Amino acid sequence: MAFGVATKLTNKGVAIFADRVRTTPATYTTSPKFIGIGTGATGAARTAAVGDTALSTEVETRASGTESTVTTTVTGDTYQSQGTVSITGTRAVDESGLFDASTSGNMFTSATFNVINLLSGDSLQLTWKAQITTS
């Protein structure tokens, strides 16, 4: 498979969503608000897929995103997590994921994108959105 630009709700993300809708979540008790970034998707010819469980090579400390619901089509139909990752070295970032833990944890969403070159001291602000639709 060739590298591609894509954003996917993962299989685990579907399970997280279903569990967290319950009055008392049984398995996934932490919201998927932690934003990770990675390198290596382009070289590995990897495109985000629903079966993703980790980034190719995760770099930097995950940002703890600020959560909210926003409106895309219907009032309050989109979960949003926004955070800023601090860069500590030269990076060619080409993927990101939203997780339910600050380290390890379950991947809720996965994205691959064209390389963003960053230097130590830079920061990268990411906004993740997961819209719930009726179709």
pLDDT of residue 1: 43
Predicted structure pTM score: 0.93
- Name residues of the chain where pLDDT drops below 70: 1-3
pLDDT of residue 134: 84
Query: Are the beta carbons of 94 and 7 closer than 8 angstroms?
Result: no
Please, is 10 exposed, middle or buried when counting C-beta atoms within 10 Å of its C-beta (0-12, 13-18, 19+)?
buried
